[in-house]
Structure 1
Amino acid sequence: MASTGPNSKQAQRKAAMAVLAHSGAAAIAERMREIALPAHENLREPENGLVMLRGRVGGDGAPFNLGEATVSRAAVRLATGEVGFGYTLGRDAQKAQMIALCDAMVQSAALSGEVEAKVIAPLRAAIDAERGRKAAETAATRVDFYTMVRGEG
């Protein structure tokens, strides 16, 4: 990132969390094997729970409870003091733990470059490639409709 202010760090963290949330647990684990994991402690053991999903309906956007979704969450603290949080849809405690650890490492000045280069960037590239593949697959089935104007007169 060009800037090193708090807003750029927050944007970097937000982008990393989006990539991790859209990646599979196996892919994250595979990428994390390539880096040395720092000493850390669990602030919140990985656990499963429910969150209420809210929707909006009507012209005025009146909120309503749509239903519940299962989530897993975890929190870790690095030995250097950075705290990371991990949330993921579903019942995957290991993925929530890995996301929390990556979140803490992204905040660390000493570790953020390595975790970005060896974990986040390859996962982002895989997500982009999959989206491109799906877009190409969808575009192949596109049908363009047109109407010919009849020349009655």
Structure 2
Amino acid sequence: MNSIQQQRQHWMSVLARAPSDLLYRLSDEAIKEIGFEIIRAPEIGLTQVRARMGNQGDRFNLGDMTLTRCVVRSEMDTLGYSYIAGRNQQHALRAAQLDALLQTPCMGEALQERVIKPIEAALEQARSAKQQETDETRVDFFTLVRGED
């Protein structure tokens, strides 16, 4: 897998997991003067989630989840895609627009600094807070040995 593909997978993951209000706030200025053609309007559907017990053995159907997807073309002729867990059509549209812009050399680096990195920091902070909350409720179990039998 090449570096460009890995970078794109990374930013698409960040955009998909971003809190919607933060995503809009950070990106409003960047996209307001760019034109986009909607190739596939944001649409809500279901996808099947598969799993394996303990990451081993045969896969089984865990259940369905709601997914919103969108495809746009920027005026710079780049296609942007998004797949968002849940039913937020505006989030899917904004993520697709940003994916299209992040692929352009003239805007990609600036958007990395102004949008992707702050969202990554917010996601990491939320993950750390959740981990700390979990750690506070941890119970250590131990066994006392009373002599030898």
- TM-score norm. by structure 2 comes to 0.85
Q: Of 5, 9, 13, which aligns to 2:8?
A: 13
Shift of 1:9: 1.4
2:113 is aligned to: 117
Flag the 1:149–1:133 CA change in 2: closer, same or farther, 3 A: same
My pick for the range that moved more, 34-43 or 14-23, is 34-43
Change beyond 3 A, Cα 1:138–1:77: same
Distance 1:141 1:58 in 2: 24
Matches within 5 A, 1:1-153: 7-37=2-32, 38-56=34-52, 61-152=57-148
Give distance in 1, aligned partners of 2:112 and 2:98.
9
Contiguous gaps of at least 5 residues in structure 1: 1-5
Q: Distance in 1 between matches of 2:74 and 2:133?
A: 43
Q: CA 1:108–1:65 in 2, change beyond 3 Å: closer, same or farther?
A: same
Q: Tell me if the contact between 1:71 and 1:91 (Cα under 8 Å) persists in the aligned partners.
A: yes
Tell me how far apart the structure 2 counterparts of residues 107 and 61 of structure 1 sit (CA, whole Å): 38
CA RMSD of aligned residues (A): 2.4
Q: State the number of aligned residues.
A: 148
The CA distance in 1 between the partners of 2:55 and 2:92, in whole Å, is 37
Alpha-carbon distance, 1:30 to partner? 0.9
Identity %, equivalent residues? 39
Shift of 1:96: 0.7
Contact 1:35/1:114 (8 A) holds in 2: no
Mark the CA change 1:7 to 1:136 in structure 2 (over 3 Å): closer, same or farther: same
Per the normalisation by structure 1, the TM-score is 0.83
Q: Deviations over 1:13-42 (max 9, x none)?
A: 111111111112222111112424422211
CA distance in 2 between counterparts of 1:95 and 1:24 reads 9
The one-character-per-residue Cα deviations of 1:50-104 (angstroms, maximum 9, x if unpaired) are 2222334699833443332221111011111111101111211111101111111
Distance 2:74 2:23 in 1: 19
Greater helix fraction, Structure 1 or Structure 2: 2
